[in-house]
Structures are given as structure tokens and as C-alpha cells.
Amino acid sequence: MDWHIVVTFLVLSGVICSLTFLRAGADTILMGGLTILVVTGVIPAEDAIAGFANEGLIAVAFLFVVSEGIRQTGGFAFTGQQMLGRPKSLTDAQARVMLPSAVLSAFLNNTPVVAMMMPIISDWAKKMRISVSHLMLPLSYAAILGGLCTLVGTSTTLVVDGLLQHQTHRPGLSMFEIAWVGIPIMIIGLIYLLIFSRWLLPERKPAITPMDDPREYTVEMIVEPGCPLIGKTIEQAGLRHLAGMYLMEIDRKDDVIAAVSSNERLEANDQLVFVGIVESVIDLQKIPGLKPATDQLFKLSGPRSERCLIEAVVSDSFRFINMSIRTAKFRSNYNAAVIAVARNGQRINKKIGDIELQRGDTLLIEAHPSFIDQQRNSREFFLVSQVEDSTPPRHERAWIARTILLAMILMVAIANIKMIVAAMVAAGLMTATRCCSATEAKRSIDWGVLITIAAGLGIGRAIENSGAATLIASSFTGMANNSPLAVLAILSLITLVLTNLITAKATATLIFPIAVATAATLNVDLMPFVITITISAAACFATPIGYQTNLMVFGPGGYKYADYLRIGGPLTLIVWLMTVIIVPLAWPFNP
């Protein structure tokens, strides 16, 4: 056996074991493996770094920016709450979570879809008194299943598409080509989850349980003219069962509605007085058409999209102690607006501008992040800290972001434009229309994911160049007695096992050259094996470590490793069986 093959096998084994057992990131491990292959001469440096120019990888980078534009504008956040409604049973609740998540993830990358849906579902579960452990894992699985239906549904598919074009010089996958196998798998998978998850998923408390926050703020929000909530009842608007907050009264012109009925209809310019914790104040800001009632907010320098919420505790040395916020000219002196005040759990029955500030008051301030640097060492405040994820969404641009996303999908599906081109145009439009700033666009790109993909592509090239791929392919064909269907079943099973042990993208890049060599050895068409790898690598259900969305819901859902195997193991077998049955029918071995 050639020593290049020996080194390649040793590195490949080391990478797989490291990804399985070590805590180091996938990008670090794969780059380490690639470095060894370059140093030992198995692969030249130019081939090792060629993966960084892969079209699929670049398309993934631009899709991060597109997803950030959707997130920054709140394009689906408020709509998601409205769509979920009030379920009649646990199965109904799971269906309301999984169906829209699956559809949405078919056209957006899985990770941002789950990231957007998690806080929505968490708050909704609290209102409906449903354990999040019954919803979070089905959310992740639904996103993965939906991502199997289109070219843009998961970055794994884009990576395989890039490999197909560059290493075989074939045309790439069309927008809905994998839907022939992806849609049946999604439908059967969702049915399986709806039927069995209530028994297979125990009711658990999340690892991090939100404690009651002693700082209850009183905050006033105004219903702007044109707000989509106008004319709706409090119940219909979703303001009756807010998590950690309640609607105390409505100030309407000269009238005060103290005991707010669920059937009370909202009108333009209503001032809604809420009492609740800071996380709920953030949720209020995400509702389009609701803005803090203080007029000082709109006199601050800079757009709201560049501000955030900051908590600051008033000290003894505060120069405006016992003075009202208006008299102290807080906005002029600090370039910040106080939108709520917490005082030892007391209800402060005054307008924001009339509240006289006292020692120990906790102020919820909207300001530019530079306020923190300016006041961190100031004697006027005991504590100054930024509230996480509190930048107000750009609701007025939500329709633009949704239009750009739809245009990108149509460019690929109908106009037959390359995915990388459509993603570049969409990302450029997101920044040009200020759906997200250039800084936010740069920050949204997950460089760890991109390095993982590029390093995996380099290792895959080494597997091919060293002859290891041909050797493995020969072993597969021998095991399967030269039967293409049996080889495809073995390849799918190995890919499913690896994707649960390491990562989907790493698995796809490592197995692809083996698939190419296998098709050449059997003298059959390559496409059945390409589609099999695409589906199998992206179908990670049996462990939390193989796919980002599974790991994202691990803590919030309070899950254990055994939960993933218990419900995800049978789902993995379903995917394997349907792939082996459907793929040869849709993509014959000898077309």
C-alpha cells in the first residue's frame, strides 16, 4: 500500500476520533488534519486551500447575510407568534411548530431558522403552559427535514453541489431537484414525530430555568398609526398572555382603562402600560407598530437600529438625584432615553418623564452602545450593562427583506441563475436597503462553519488524490458483490453514522470522493450516489453534536443524549430506508 494512502487513513481516523471524543471545534480539528496532509506531501498546498474558493462555501457565506437581514427586520418573528395561535392538544402544538419551521427552512438555512424560532416558541410555550421539551427537538428535526427539500435548505447541500460542479464538471443541482426524495422523507418524518414524540420525549425542565426577576419595570408603549394590531382585541393581538409581563392599563386620550378586558380593541395612539421583566420589554419592542411612549426616544442622535437597551443603577453620586427625568434633561445630558424604571418591585404611578430618580433605581435606557464605555467607570451609576439581543428590529424594512428573499428563491428556481450569484445579489440588496448594516453583515458570517467546510474539502481532495477513495470504493463493491443498490445502501448507512458522530459538512466533504470512485468502479451513473450523500449527510438526528440546530436546543429543552437516540434513531432508519428505495427510482443507475 502506497505510504500516501497510509498517512491519509491515519489522518482521517484521527480526525473522526477527535471530532467524536474531543471538545475542540470542528474547524480546528479539520484544519489540523489538513495541515498534516500538506506537511507530509500527501496534497500540495494549492489543492489544500482550493476549498476556500468553492462556490458552495461562498454561497453559504452570503446566505448568512441574507438570514441576518431577515432577523434584523423581524421579518418572521411577529408573524410566527400570530401563526402559532392557540393549540387544542400537544399534537396540535407540535404540528403548529413543525410545519412552518419545515417550510421556512426549505428556503432559508436551517441554523438561522431555528435561531429565530426558538425565542418565539419558548414564549409561546409559557403562554400555552406546554413543556418546551416537547417542542424544541421537534423544531430542530423539522428544520432538518425541511432543509432536505431544496438546494438552499441546508449548507450541506450547497457544499455537495459545489463539489459536483468542480470535481466532476457536471451542471449543479437545480433548486428543487432533491425534492423528489426530500419531500417524501419530510412528510413521513413529520408524521412519525407527530405520532411518537409524545411518548419518546419525556417532559423535562430546561437546564437553565429562568428565575423570577426582582426588577419589574413599568413601561409605556404607544400604538402607532398603521400598526397591524389596530382593531384587534387584546387576546387576538397576543398581549393577554405575555411571558413575564402583564398589561396593567390602557391610557386612551383622557380615559384610563384600568381593568383591561381580553375583548378590548386597540386603537391608534393608545398608550399601553405594562409591568414585567426586562426580557419581556425586549419582546414588546419586537412587535411591529409598538414603540416606547417617551418622546425623548426620537430626539436621540443616530437611528434606532444602532441602539440597544442598557440597565443602569442610580448611585448616591448621581448628580440629578431626587429630580424628575424631564427636569434632569436626561436625554440631553447622556444622549440616552429612559424607557422604564424599576424600584424595589414598586409600581411607580407616574409618566416616565415625571419619575423622580432615587438611589438604587434601575433604569432601562435606550442608547448607543458607546454609553456603556462612557459610564462604566462613572460614579453616577453603580452598574451599567447591556441587555443582550436588545437592538430594536427594523420593522419598517421587513417587507423589503421578505421581498429580497422571495426574489432570490425565484432567481434560482425559475430564472435558473446560479445559487452563488443569487445569494450575492440578495446579500448585497440586504445591506444596500439597510435591512442589515455592513457591520452586522460581517458579524453574521460564521467563519468557523466556513473553515470547517473548506478544510473538509481539502481533506476530501487528499482522499481522492492519494488513492484512498478508490481503495475504499473497491472494498464497498466487494462487500456488496458489485450490486449498485447494495453499495448505495452501505454508503448511505456509513454517511448517516458519520454525520451523527462528526458534522454534516465534514461528512459530506469526506465521503464525496468515495462516492465518485464507487460510481466509476461500478461503471454506473454518479447522480444516485451524489443524492444519497446529500440526503444522508444532512439527516443528523441521533446525537446533539452532529448538527448545530440539535446542539442549539439541547440546553433550552433540558434534553439528555439518550433523548436524541431514542427519538432520532428510528427517524434515521426511516431516512435510510426511504433513501435506498426512492433514489434509484428517481435517478437510475443506468439512465
Q: Would you call 249 helix, strand, or coil by DSSP?
A: strand
| pLDDT at position 52 over 90 | no
Tell me what percent of the residues of the chain surpass a pLDDT of 70. Answer: 89
pLDDT above 60: residue 50:
yes
Q: Say what angle helices 90-105 and 77-84 make with each other, to 10 degrees.
A: 150
Q: What would the pLDDT profile of 216-270 be if each residue is shown by its tens digit?
A: 777 888 888 888 888 888 888 878 767 677 788 888 877 888 778 888 888 888 8
- 297-392 and 216-276 share a CATH fold: yes
* Percentage helix, strand, coil for the chain under 3-state DSSP, each rounded to 5: 55, 10, 35
H/E element, 336:
strand 336-342
Q: What is the dihedral of CA 243, 245, 246, 247, to 10 degrees?
A: -120
Residue 1 Cα to chain centre, angstroms: 45
pTM for this one? 0.65
Q: 297-392, which class in CATH?
A: alpha beta
When pLDDT is cut at 50, 70 and 90, the band that residue 200 belongs to is: confident
Confidence check: pLDDT of 189 > 90: yes
Q: Which distant-in-sequence residues (6+ apart) come within 8 Å of 497 by Cβ?
A: none
The pLDDT of residue 116 is above 80 = no
User: At what angle are helices 3-21 and 26-39 packed, to 10 degrees?
Assistant: 170
Q: Domain segments of the chain: what residues?
A: 3-205+445-586, 216-276, 297-392
Question: If pLDDT is split at 50, 70 and 90, which confidence band does 382 have?
Answer: confident
Mean pLDDT of 116-143: 83
Helix (H, G, I), strand (E, B) or coil at 129: coil
Count of C-beta atoms within a 10 Å radius of residue 373: 10
pLDDT at 412: 75
Q: Has residue 210 got a pLDDT over 50?
A: no
Amino acid in position 42: V
Question: 347 is written with which cell numbers?
Answer: 409600581
Are the C-beta atoms of 542 and 185 separated by less than 8 Å?
no
**pLDDT category, 211, cuts 50, 70, 90?**
very low
Per the structure block, which three cell numbers stand in for 351? 409618566
Asked whether the predicted pLDDT for residue 481 surpasses 70, the reply is yes
Q: How confident is the model at residue 18 (pLDDT cuts 50, 70, 90)?
A: confident
The grid coordinates of residue 576 equal: 435510510
Sign of CA dihedral 340, 341, 347, 350: negative
Q: Specify the 3-state DSSP secondary structure of 360.
A: coil
User: pLDDT band at 143, cuts 50/70/90?
Assistant: very high
Give the per-residue pLDDT at 119. Answer: 67
Is the pLDDT confidence value at 393 over 50? Answer: yes
Q: What local confidence, expressed as pLDDT, does residue 585 receive? A: 94
Q: What's the rounded mean pLDDT across residues 46-68?
A: 81
Q: What is the pLDDT of residues 434-477, one digit of tens each?
A: 888 888 888 888 787 788 778 877 877 787 777 776 777 677 66
Does 70 or 502 have the greater pLDDT score? 70
pLDDT at 207: 44
pLDDT value at residue 209: 46
Distance CA 557, CA 428 (A): 36
Using an 8 Å Cβ cutoff, are 376 and 386 in contact? no
CA distances, 218 to each of 165, 253, 345, 524 (Å): 58, 20, 10, 69
User: What single string gives the DSSP state of each residue in 213-241?
Assistant: PS--EEEEEEE-TT-TTTT-BTTTTT-SS
Q: Is residue 454 within 8 Å of residue 509, measured between CB atoms?
A: no
Which one-letter amino acid corresponds to residue 11? V
Task: For cell 426511516, name the residue.
Answer: 574
Kindly tell me if the per-residue pLDDT of 388 is higher than 60. yes
Give dist(CA 55, CA 416) in Å, integer: 16
Question: Is residue 583's pLDDT more than 90?
Answer: yes
Least confident range of 162-166, 244-248, 292-296: 292-296
Question: If pLDDT is split at 50, 70 and 90, which confidence band does 205 have?
Answer: low
Instruction: Select the highest-mean-pLDDT range: 282-296, 518-532, 553-567.
Output: 518-532
Instruction: Identify the pLDDT of residue 193.
Output: 95
Count Cβ neighbours within 10 Å for each residue of 129-156 and write b for 16 or more, e otherwise. Answer: ebbbbbbbbbbbbbbbbbbbbbbbbbbb
pLDDT score for 531: 95
User: What does the DSSP 8-state code read for residue 349?
Assistant: -
More confident residue, 56 or 323: 323
Share of the chain above pLDDT 90, in %: 16
pLDDT digits (tens, 9 = 90+) for 306-350: 778 888 888 888 888 889 888 988 888 888 888 888 887 676 777
pLDDT given for residue 213 in this prediction: 47
For the structural domain made of 216-276, what CATH number should be given? 3.30.70.1450
Measure the CA angle with vertex 554, ends 211 and 193; round to 5°: 115
| Rounded Cα–Cα distance for residues 164 and 533 (Å) | 11
User: Average pLDDT of 30-44?
Assistant: 87
Q: Whole-angstrom Cα distance, residue 47 to residue 40?
A: 14
Query: Of residues 584 and 46, which shows the higher confidence score?
Result: 584
Task: Using alpha carbons, list the distances in angstroms from residue 209 to 281, 544, 557.
Answer: 19, 20, 10
C-alpha cell at 529: 450516489
Say how far apart CA 275 and CA 254 lie, in whole Å: 21
Amino acid letter, 482: N
> What phi and psi values does residue 222 have, to the nearest 5 degrees?
-105, 140
Position 586: which residue type? A
